[in-house]
Structure 1
Amino acid sequence: MTARKKLENELTKEMIIHEAHRHFIAHDYSKVSMREIAKELGCTHGAIYYHFKNKADLFYAVVEHYFNELNLILSECVFQEGNPTEKARNVLIEFIKFGLDHQSQYNYMFMKQDEEIDPLRQNASIESLHQFTKTIQKLYNEQLPNEEIFYIFVSMHGFVSHYAGRVENFEEAREAAERFTQYLIRALEKY
């Protein structure tokens, strides 16, 4: 068996997703090809098509990993020490921190659209918003309207979108993020 055939037999979805992530972060979606990813993996592009039907399918798998990472971070906030207000504040701060510390990933998760892809229409993004809503609802004893929580989510997205590209990471916007989340917490506590 040749080395290439052996690698193709051992090629996993995780390996492909990891390599695709590197390519999507380094280049725009439209400039990434399945052939380039296959070349980096030392396999044929057909081996990638065995796991993913096309580039958009692979892109969505990569973005799903990003959403899973964000969801895990946010769910961990609920189990930290503190009262519900402190936990809600941590959820908001961690969302902003993720967005500003992972700007390329955030862009692909929430802002990237073209005729081939729209990550906000995928199950991973819908589930992420649902989990965010459930987390905030749980902290406020199910008393907040879902619509209000959605407005908080959109507000945080606006904050991240405003600072993305203007700062290198969360630390450069920490002070503004702290003030902004205090404002959002006051809005939540009106209920």
Structure 2
Amino acid sequence: MSPRKRASEELTKDMIIQEAQLQFEKKNFRDVSMRNIAKNLGCSHGAIYYHFKNKADLFFTIIEQYFSKLNKLIDETIQDKEDDQTKLKKLFLAFIAFGLNHQSQYELMFMLRNEEVDALSQQAANNSYRKFAEAVQHLASHTVTVADIWASFLALHGFVSYYRGSVKKYEEAEVTAEMHVNFLLKNFS
């Protein structure tokens, strides 16, 4: 039998994140354990604690990556060369596309409620919403209220929530998404 390597030398943070993502996307937060993640990685669960304080810390790291992708999408939409109304439409459609093309991630970001992680993930969610709200305010052809922006966010979230699970990809709901967004844009033109 060969001597065992130190866990910190053989196990990387990225390996843990990748395995944890798979498990969080398949199971409820409560059903994922550090022991099971370690088992699938072929290491001791103590090795995971070398990289993460606890399951909530690991979950937050994953959620933060998802919000970074969404924030990047918002930034890219704003930087397009089109007129502001076209960019606003693209922003709304991009939000829906993100939600429907990344349904498991979207559920973890916006729909999972758990006391252990809510405090951590809420900050990332708030930052992402703030970025969305600032983009909408900037792109709208007139000053819009906070309530209008919040209502548009909820309408987009509701669309994603409704179609989540009944379609596999955004393209399957694209025509309906376009109609939904055109309806929402009436408030911003």
| TM exceeding 0.5 | yes
State the distance in 1 between where 2:111 and 2:159 align.
13
Q: Partner of 1:57 in structure 2?
A: 57
- Residue type of the alignment partner of 2:67: F
Q: Partner of 2:67 in structure 1?
A: 67
Q: Partner of 1:116 in structure 2?
A: 116
Identity of aligned residues (%): 43
Matches within 5 A, 1:125-144: 125-140=125-140, 143-144=143-144
Identify which range, 9-18 or 121-130, moves more after superposition. Answer: 9-18
Aligned length: 188
Q: Partner of 1:171 in structure 2?
A: 171
Q: Partner of 1:96 in structure 2?
A: 96
State the distance in 2 between where 1:22 and 1:142 align.
43
Residue 49 of structure 1: how far off its partner (Å): 1.4
Residue 15 of structure 1: how far off its partner (Å): 2.8
- Residue type of the alignment partner of 1:143: T
State the distance in 1 between where 2:9 and 2:48 align.
11
Residue 178 of structure 1: how far off its partner (Å): 0.2
1:145 paired to 2:145: yes
Gaps in structure 2 of 5+ consecutive residues: none
Do the aligned partners of 1:77 and 1:87 also contact (CA within 8 Å) in 2? Answer: yes
State the distance in 2 between where 1:120 and 1:60 align.
6
Residue 36 of structure 1: how far off its partner (Å): 1.6
- Residue type of the alignment partner of 1:140: A
Superposed structure 1 runs of 4+ greater than 4 Å apart:
none
SS of the residue corresponding to residue 117 of structure 2 reads coil
Pairwise CA RMSD: 2.1
Q: Partner of 2:76 in structure 1?
A: 76
State the distance in 1 between where 2:175 and 2:119 align.
30
Identify which range, 33-42 or 112-121, moves more after superposition. Answer: 112-121
Residue 90 of structure 1: how far off its partner (Å): 0.5
Gaps in structure 1 of 5+ consecutive residues: none
SS of the residue corresponding to residue 172 of structure 1 reads helix
Q: Deviations over 1:20-79 (max 9, x none)?
A: 111111222222111121223333211211222211221111111111111111211112
Q: Partner of 2:28 in structure 1?
A: 28
Residue 80 of structure 1: how far off its partner (Å): 1.7
20 and 121 in structure 1: CA distance in 2 versus 1, 3 angstrom threshold: closer
Do the aligned partners of 1:8 and 1:43 also contact (CA within 8 Å) in 2? Answer: no
Q: Partner of 1:161 in structure 2?
A: 161
SS of the residue corresponding to residue 51 of structure 1 reads coil
- Relative to the length of structure 2, the TM-score reads 0.90
2 and 149 in structure 1: CA distance in 2 versus 1, 3 angstrom threshold: farther
State the distance in 1 between where 2:98 and 2:172 align.
13
SS of the residue corresponding to residue 116 of structure 2 reads coil
- Residue type of the alignment partner of 1:80: D
41 and 8 in structure 1: CA distance in 2 versus 1, 3 angstrom threshold: farther
State the distance in 2 between where 1:26 and 1:4 align.
30
Do the aligned partners of 1:119 and 1:125 also contact (CA within 8 Å) in 2? Answer: no
